[in-house]
Amino acid sequence: MQLRRCAHLVVEPRERLDFDLGRLLSGESGLLHVREWVALAAHVDGEIVIDAEQLRVLGALSPQTWVDHDVLLAEHARASIDALLEHGLLLTDDDAGHHVEWRARDTDVRDSHWLGLSAVTHRHTRWRAIDTAEAERRFGRETDLPFLERLGPPEPAVCERAGSDERIVLERPQDSALEALIRRRVTCRNYDRTRAVSAEDFATVMYRAFGARAVSDEPGIRVIKRAAPSAGGLHPTEAYVLVQNVEGVQAGLYHYHPIDHALEPLGDLATADTAAIALGMVAGQAHFKHAHVVIALASRFRRTFWKYRHHAKAHRAVVLDAGHLSQTMYLAATEQGLAAFITAAVNEVDIETLFGLDPMREGVLAVCGFGWRGDLIDEVEFDPLGEVWPRA
């Protein structure tokens, strides 16, 4: 049997507080500072605590070159090797049991041309079943101090690098249709559940934000032009759609095809509680759960990493896509008289399960959506210009 280390691995030294009753009874505080090594792998969910001997084994092995199991046993304890195999940090060419799955998942990440740090960061910053509203309630119960006293003052709104007398004041532009649109572009937290988005408005916003304007077939490379930029013109970010209230479109799960400007059905939700599904997607942010259309932005990393292999900026470039696409969606929705939102506080793991996505192949970056703005402010809105919610 041959062994090697997994491709992308970060080992982090950590310290945590523990309680020791014996120390308390002996007159000490009872608090114990525990130092440990935590392994984070790009193909494994969850953190793995390892000991010094296991760390030594990992440090002695290559992620590329296979080593005979007996040779490794001559230098390291069997228990350490077995534990690392069990957790998938060591891989084997053996086709028995779960070793096959670990090797396949590691190979999949290798073949995607991830930069190691980006791969580990992406895998281990995903959420599952997080409820941000409950987290805020717990935070509030921990202290009765006002918000600013709890957190301290924020950083200044503007970074000022010169005195006011040194600044070169620029002429403000004349009003235009674009300026008027931008002024009305306000994140919405209150949606009108009694009114459906028309099929025309839905199709318009989807096309403006995510549709392909042109397709270019260079030899062996097909690229598309959208209304937003993308590294290398590759546009890896897909729109996975939860339709809740659109005329002529069954409530359900869909994938938007940008070239055909079409919906691909992934699941009928006619009898399901779509608001509960949306609430799970946005990690308990109740103010977004009634948006008529909820869109998970998920990027096919191999599409970009095919060109930018193991590149320090590749993952960052993919993340930028979510911002570009969501801003275009905001403007498109606003033009139709609709309202929009975007949030990065999302349960990526739950969304992956919902739409059948592999996180290292097609990972969720954010959730956005749009619909009709409600008439009443049940949730706090931020509209400092008073364009959407006029001041009394």
Query: 174-231 pLDDT, tens per residue?
Result: 999 999 999 999 999 999 999 999 999 999 999 999 999 999 887 778 889 999 999 9
DSSP string spanning 65-124?
S-EEHHHHHTTS-HHHHHHHHHHTSEEES--STTHHHHHHHHHHHHHTT--HHHHHHHHH
DSSP 358: -
As a whole number of angstroms, the distance between CA 388 and CA 340 comes to: 12
Find the angle CA(287)-CA(293)-CA(299) to the nearest 5 degrees: 100
Mean pLDDT along residues 247-269: 96
Q: Phi/psi class of residue 32: alpha, beta or left (left: φ > 0; alpha: ψ in -120 to 50)?
A: beta
310-322 pLDDT tens trace: 999 999 999 999 9
Whole-angstrom Cα distance, residue 57 to residue 106? 18
What would the mean pLDDT of 244-248 be, rounded to a whole number?
Answer: 97
DSSP strand pairing (339-343 vs 252-257): unpaired
pLDDT at 289: 97
- pTM here is 0.91
What is the pLDDT confidence band of residue 385, given thresholds at 50, 70 and 90?
Answer: confident
Using alpha carbons, list the distances in angstroms from residue 269 to 242, 272, 352, 359. Answer: 9, 5, 17, 24
pLDDT range class, residue 24, cuts 50, 70, 90: low
Confidence class of residue 149 from pLDDT cuts 50, 70 and 90? confident
Of 69-78, 92-101, 141-150, 344-353, where does the model show the most confidence?
A: 344-353
Please state, rounded to an integer, the average pLDDT across all residues of the chain: 93
Q: What is the pLDDT of residue 392?
A: 41
Mean pLDDT value of segment 146-166: 89
Residue scoring higher pLDDT (35 or 264): 264
Per-residue pLDDT averaged across 68-82, rounded? 94
Mean pLDDT of 5-27: 84
Q: Is the pLDDT of residue 132 over 70?
A: yes
Q: Give the pLDDT confidence score for residue 219 in this predicted structure.
A: 73
Quote the CA–CA distance of 315 and 309 in Å, as a whole number.
Answer: 10
Side-by-side strand order, sheet with 262-268: 262-268, 252-257, 237-243, 293-300, 362-371, 339-343
With contact defined as beta carbons under 8 Å apart, do 306 and 113 qualify? yes
pLDDT band at 98 (very low <50, low <70, confident <90, very high): confident
Q: What integer pLDDT is reported at residue 314 of this predicted model? A: 97
Q: Is the pLDDT of residue 359 over 70?
A: yes
Q: What was the pLDDT predicted at 17?
A: 81
Going by pLDDT thresholds of 50, 70 and 90, the confidence category of residue 137 is: confident
Smallest CA-to-CA distance from 124 within 209, 11, 214, 46 is with: 46
Size of the chain, expressed as the number of residues it contains: 392
Nearest to 80 by CA among 47, 51, 46, 117: 51
Q: Using CB atoms within 10 Å of the CB of residue 37, give its burial: 0 to 12 exposed, 13 to 18 middle, 19+ buried.
A: middle
**% pLDDT > 90, the chain:** 79
- For residue 73, the model assigns a pLDDT of 93
Strand pairing report for 9-19 and 31-41:
antiparallel
The residue type at 136: E
